[in-house]
Amino acid sequence: MEPVEVPRRSLLTAVTPAKDGAPATGLRALPLLPALTPAGRRSRVPPGRSGRVFGELRMRWSFDLTCRDADATAKVNFQERAGEILIHVDYRPFRGGLILNRLTGGEWQEEKLLWTPKEGNPADTINVTVETFESGRIVLRHPGGTENVDWTDAHTLGTCRIWLEGTVVRGAEAAEDSAELRGWRLYEKPSGFPCGNAKLRAKSEPGVLEPGLSFIIRARNEARTVEACIRSIAGLGDEIVFVDNASEDGTGLIAEKLKSGIFELKTFSYPHRLPKVGAAHAREVLSGGSNTLGHFYNWCLAQSGRMNFVKWDADYIAIRQNLAEMIGLYSLRTRADNFALWFSGLEVYTDGSRLWVDRESRHAEFRAFSLQHGTQWVNLPPWEEIDQRSLYRAQKLFYRKPVYLEIFRLDGTEFDDRGLFTEDRRDAERQEIVATFRKSGRLPERFREIASLTDAGLAETPLSAQEIELSHHFDKRFRARPKIHARKTKTLHPAEAVPQNEYAVFILSCQKNADRQRVIRESWGHDLDRLGIPHYFIIGRPAQPTQLIGDVLYVNCPDSYEFLASKVLAAIEYSMSVMNVDYFMKIDDDCVFDPYRFQAAEYSKYDYVGGGFAGGDNAGIDWHLGKCHNEQLDLVPYFREPGFNWVGGQYGYMLSRKARYLLVKQADRMRSSLYEDYIVARILAERGIEPVFSFGSQRSALYSDQWDEMSNVCLISDVPSAAKMREVYRKFVGEDAGDRWAWEFTGSHEAIWDWMDIEAVRQKLGV
């Protein structure tokens, strides 16, 4: 029995078929999609559907096709392995309407017009649905009615690969989720062919790397841009690792001379000639060779000595204003957590004397990462990529202003050294632009001539709408669960079907509690690292801006007890303005947390949920007595509304984006409260958000309770000392807990990180 894949929801854009009718793999950052085999799910055709019902419904695919301008088109294709396209649906509202066709024997058949939108008022988005029935019949439902598809059968259609062009959203279906399936975070198999080295593997050991940011530059025959490239980033990071790859035009010598004035620059030589992207690279990878782009990139990365790095190309010229802003905003020189930062730039074409910027530039990549947390490249047949495990686990950040200018030469030598992969639409378009210019001297109308690479308007030039859309696509893709193969049931759970509901843990602490912080780092903080869950200690540092240094979020307020609410508010504001997580989890530094058990927690349905109850009929609260820096507060009783209940701060609580937004809107009230947990509940209750006590099947307990006799406990609070915290962790969680949970998942499941169908690529490239 073959694995069955449950239908998924996905957004794919800008994929163009090759001239022979075969599908392109799309943008380089959107690899070739594997064959999709939808699951048969029995259900009746919904009441009110037009058209004949052919027995029981077996399979159903639904698509929303969107076209918002005169040139737009949106297409759906069902393709057999042999290459024939059994169903080709093309929506072009301004040029006909909804078209049905098929590719048979390498030739397109006669188009059939299914539906024409109202004249002068075409619909932006329409829905088409393909349904198969037990009888073997197939129908296509569309705004104009139904169409029988009688040239194929349901079984054949069910084995087809589905690929999309333009803006197409595939309809959502119910998808299974469970604590067992959430164990994918512990799956260690890489997304491609591994190509690391011992020096690189050692980088993730504690104490090996220094804090800071390294720019990694790989170059071959870039003498015309290398000096401008390096000077444009000088002083913005802590290290520049420049690797010359057997250049023949003096690139390496130019970089070497710059070291006398750019002191963070380190130069290296990698003398091996590398195969170009595409078939040559695929042959080397699939034969098990080591002369690959992935091996080269990882060798370059191994020369870095800093915790974080940026993948920077030798033909990039920084837009310094935006690059400096991005580095500061995301604390790239000081942070020590696991992250992946997406940023982009503008393409600039030159004939040697004039410059033109492409206002529809597309790059679509994550380019800044944590080396400390093991990020590295793997090989795919046509090229290299960052191991997708890192992208799924890391906190995904996005900076949507142009950070660099990528220089393209119009003299015809642009692709001589790096090669090109024509299945990548961007490379194909660039090649066409260069060829057209050499033939006629013309450039696309979207190009704008600029006076120089320091043109003041470049920093304010917006990224293209398609680039922004792609960034949101990557956010959606990697903040959802990856594809999972359940071996026992032989079920393939699709990617993007279940959001991760990512959360970050903020640990309320202070400078004097360094011993507790150390225990947390060595125990359950390490477990959070293994799962890829970001976590930070909140510590006050008055009169200085909020900044992330290592795993400490320093906030601009005093570090004493009476400012707990101000510290939590500052962390909430940081999570909303800089981070990209769905939930904010607040925990005290006297807790022991089991993040593996918390995998079974339920919180995504609620805005405000916590591990335990506080409140009651007593109107006075005296927990602050003897703890405040201002001793006069010991004489000030704190009153609250009798009978009002809230989540006790010692039990831990989680806040959705909506809840955090409402709290930030009431910032002054937050800052004026002695008790952060009480004022959080008070503000949210006024907005109709009541607390939910317990994390679904999981809950919190006090150290004074008989916690070792309780079931479903994920957090123990009020542990009296750092030594006791270590003792409780060993008994409650266990130092081998991660290995046990990983073994349990990998024994019955496989996480499939990447969408590239290796066998399909092998056949396509003929290797």
Over range 535-547, report the average pLDDT: 96
Q: How confident is the model over 340-357, as pLDDT tens digits?
A: 999 999 999 999 899 999
Measured CA to CA, the distance from residue 245 to residue 255 in angstroms comes to: 12
Q: Bridge-partner residues for 215, per DSSP?
A: 240, 310
Averaged pLDDT, 206-218: 95
Secondary-structure breakdown of the chain: helix, strand, coil percentages, each rounded to the nearest 5: 25, 30, 45
Report d(CA 465, CA 74) in Å as an integer.
17
Which of 265, 222, 261 is closest to 240 using CA atoms?
Answer: 265
Specify burial of residue 151 (Cβ count, 10 A radius: 0-12, 13-18, 19+). Answer: exposed
Residue 94 pLDDT grade (very low, low, confident, very high; cuts 50, 70, 90) = confident
Highest mean pLDDT, choosing among 44-53, 287-296, 481-490: 287-296
* pLDDT number for residue 185: 94
Kindly report, residue by residue over 120-151, the tens digit of the pLDDT.
455 678 888 888 876 778 889 888 888 999 89
**Separation CA 701–CA 718 (nearest Å):** 9
SS3 566: helix
Q: What angle do CA 270, 272, 273 make, to 5 degrees?
A: 120
Structural domains of the chain, with CATH? 7-173 (2.60.120.200), 193-478 (3.90.550.10), 503-737 (3.90.550.10)
Helix (H) or strand (E) holding 670: helix 667-671
Question: Residue 643 has what pLDDT?
Answer: 63
C-alpha to C-alpha distance for 203 and 209, rounded to whole angstroms = 6
pLDDT of residue 616: 57
pLDDT of 633 over the 60 cut: yes
pLDDT band at 57 (very low <50, low <70, confident <90, very high): very low
- State mean pLDDT over 273-298: 93
Q: pLDDT band at residue 665, thresholds of 50, 70 and 90? A: very high
Q: To which residue do tokens 């990698």 refer?
A: 270
Mean pLDDT of all residues in 446-465 = 93
Say which residues have a Cβ less than 8 Å from residue 528's Cβ, sequence separation at least 6.
505, 534, 535, 595
Residue 289 is predicted with a pLDDT of 94
User: 4-30 pLDDT, tens per residue?
Assistant: 333 333 333 333 333 333 333 332 232
Long-range contacts of 450-458 (CB under 8 A, 24+ apart): 450/348, 450/355, 450/356, 450/357, 451/355, 452/355, 453/228, 453/317, 453/348, 453/355, 453/405, 458/319, 458/346, 458/357, 458/402, 458/405
107-108 and 97-104: which strand pairing? Answer: antiparallel
pLDDT at 38: 31
Read off the pLDDT band of 1 (50, 70, 90).
very low
% of the chain beyond a pLDDT of 70: 86
Determine the Cα–Cα distance for residues 213 and 239; give it in Å rounded to an integer: 6
In this prediction, residues 31-52 reach a mean pLDDT of: 30
Check residue 412 and give its pLDDT: 59
Greatest alpha-carbon span in the chain:
89
Give me the mean pLDDT over the 731-747 stretch: 93
Tell me the Ramachandran region of residue 563: left when phi exceeds 0, alpha when psi lies from -120 to 50, beta otherwise.
alpha
Confidence band of 583 (pLDDT split at 50, 70, 90): very high
First-residue to last-residue Cα distance in the chain: 29
Give the count of beta carbons closer than 10 Å to the beta carbon of residue 280: 15
Q: How far apart are CA 593 and CA 487, in angstroms?
A: 31
Instruction: Give the pLDDT confidence score for residue 639 in this predicted structure.
Output: 63
Strand partners, 645: 615
pLDDT at position 710: 84
The average pLDDT across 148-156 equals 85
Q: What is the pLDDT of residue 134?
A: 66
Copy the structure tokens of residue 539: 């510590």
Query: Do 262 and 234 touch, CB atoms closer than 8 A?
Result: yes
- The predicted pLDDT at position 296 comes to 97
Nearest to 390 by CA among 300, 499, 478: 478
Q: Which amino acid is at 92?
A: R
Q: What is the dihedral of CA 188, 192, 195, 199, to 10 degrees?
A: -40
Residue 764's pLDDT band (boundaries 50, 70, 90)? Answer: confident
pLDDT at 750: 92
The residue-averaged pLDDT of 608-629 equals 73
CA dihedral for 570, 574, 576, 582, sign (positive or negative): negative
Alpha-carbon separation of residue 215 from 183, 199, 363 (angstroms): 34, 18, 18
User: Full-prediction pTM beyond 0.75?
Assistant: yes
The mean per-residue pLDDT over the stretch 233-251 comes to 97
Alpha-carbon Rg for the chain in angstroms: 28
The angle at the Cα of 329, spanning 324 to 333, to the nearest 5 degrees, equals 70
pLDDT at 372: 94
Side-chain half-sphere exposure of 559, counting CA atoms within 13 A: 18
pLDDT of residue 32: 27
Confidence of residue 674 (pLDDT cuts 50, 70, 90): confident
Least confident window among 58-67, 109-118, 282-291: 58-67
Q: What is the pLDDT of residue 15?
A: 33
> DSSP secondary structure string, 241-304?
EEEE-S-SSSHHHHHHHHTTT-TTEEEEE--PPPPPTTHHHHHHHHTT-S-SHHHHHHHHHHT-
Total number of residues shown for the chain: 767
- More confidently predicted of 54 and 247: 247
Task: Compute the half-sphere exposure of residue 119: CA atoms within 13 Å on the CB side of its CA.
Answer: 0
Tokens of residue 272, six digits: 């091996």
Which of 60-74, 139-153, 288-302, 429-443 shows the lowest mean pLDDT across its residues?
Answer: 60-74
- Cβ–Cβ under 8 Å, residues 14 and 29: no
- 3 state SS of 594: coil
Model confidence pLDDT, tens digit, residues 377-396: 999 998 999 999 999 999 99
What's the pLDDT band for 86 if we cut at 50, 70, 90?
very high
The SS3 call for residue 142 is: strand
> Are β-strands 161-165 and 167-170 bridged in parallel, bridged antiparallel, or unpaired?
unpaired
What confidence tens digit (pLDDT) does each residue in 682-707 have? 999 999 999 998 898 899 999 998 88
Q: How far apart are CA 339 and CA 392, in angstroms?
A: 10
CB-CB contact of 586 with 646 (8 Å): no
